Homo-oligomer: A and B are copies of this chain.
Amino acid sequence: MATVTPHDVQQAASLLQPFILRTPLLESLALNLMTKARIMVKAENLQTGGSFKVRGALHRVLKLSPTEKAKGVIAFSSGNFGQGLAAACGQLSDPPVQCTIVMPGDTPMAKQTRARSYGATVVLSNIVPGINREVTAAELAEELASTHKYTLLHPFEDPDVIAGQGSCGVEICQQCQEQCNLDTGPDMLLIPTGGGGLAAGCALAVHAVYGDAVSMYAVEPEGYDDHRLSFAQGSRVGLTGNPVSLCDSLQAVSPGKNTFPITRRLLAGALVVNDSEVRNAMKVAFETLQLVLEPGGAVGLAAVLSGKCGDVEGKTIVVIASGGNTDYEKFSTIMGGGSTCRSSSSSGGVESKL
């Protein structure tokens, strides 16, 4: 098992600083009055590539050896990790690093197009010249990596990715001290959680500064509460089934093997929110913060607004708004009460959406 230390996270933050946006820690008077709490929103939806994922992706790319850089990288993802990696390789690296993203065949054209616009090669897992059988995106990525000597990148297991995501937590600590004189830290930190890369990285960063003074929670969508179950059992639980959830970016079925030892040690627990609570949080973010959040990016705010954090009156709560990659039509469908389906079985497993 690979370990990640607070020092690794701090180093990652320094390395990334010239390349990424230090996203704002935002407050809304209206939201504070509504909740009777002080809600500080770390707006990672404004990050390059539309989510925090570029942090870990770029950190991993910066740590590649010269030979690995020359050969290029590959990942399987229809979601934010793919967008973040494409942006990291094609736009933020100088010179650019060749990048292939394997997406399931049913990935919306807008996501394919945007990854291509960043400079990535997009391969659809059901349309593969020279391969005459059904393969998942994961299998295909492994085959292509092996054939072309690409470095295969994992969205949350890689220690360099975890350390990179933690740079978000480093910024939160800096911003709490700079903007708010919060020397003792906020009362609570809420982290949207799929595989646990963001949660593990940020927990390391925040615990290093504030110790146990900040109660940190993973927030998961209903049906994908693998962290909650794993914390209760004391070991990694794997979910089965294929429940419907709006939160396509948080559909991990098990905590990562490298993230879980960290999150188990440092988090106070996991909170679970349902689609209706997520939809409401997206609307509140729109109207009080003027931010567009994707469903997975809104689970932290949903936990506050739905009372899942208990009585928050008078408390200071940092909420990570982890991403905002949604087009208007999809947002509008969600606001209308429609639910999007889980990725089809051709997607090569849950990680393809991460």
Contacts and interface: CB of A to CB of B under 8 A. Distances in A.
A139 interface: no
Contacts of A283: 328
A286 B291 CA distance: 8
Interface string A324-336: 1111100110010
B21 A290 contact: no
Contact of A45 (B27, B29, B290): B290
B118 A46 contact: no
**How many chain copies does the complex carry?**
2
Contact of A332 (B33, B290, B332): B332
Nearest to A25: B21
Contacts of A327: 287
B91 A29 contact: yes
Given A30-B117, A290-B291, A335 B324 contact: no
A49 interface: yes
A180 to B, nearest CB: 12
Contacts of A286: 292, 328, 331
Contacts of A118: 29, 33
A299 interface: no
Contact of A292 (B290, B326, B332): B290
A267 to B, nearest CB: 27
A332 B332 CA distance: 8
A289 interface: yes
B290 A46 contact: yes
A213 interface: no
A24 B23 CA distance: 8
A104 interface: no
Nearest to A49: B29
A29 B328 contact: no
A332 B29 CA distance: 24
A50 interface: yes
A290 to B, nearest CB: 3
Of the candidates A29, A46, A292, A327, the one having the most CB atoms from chain B within 10 angstroms of its own CB is A29
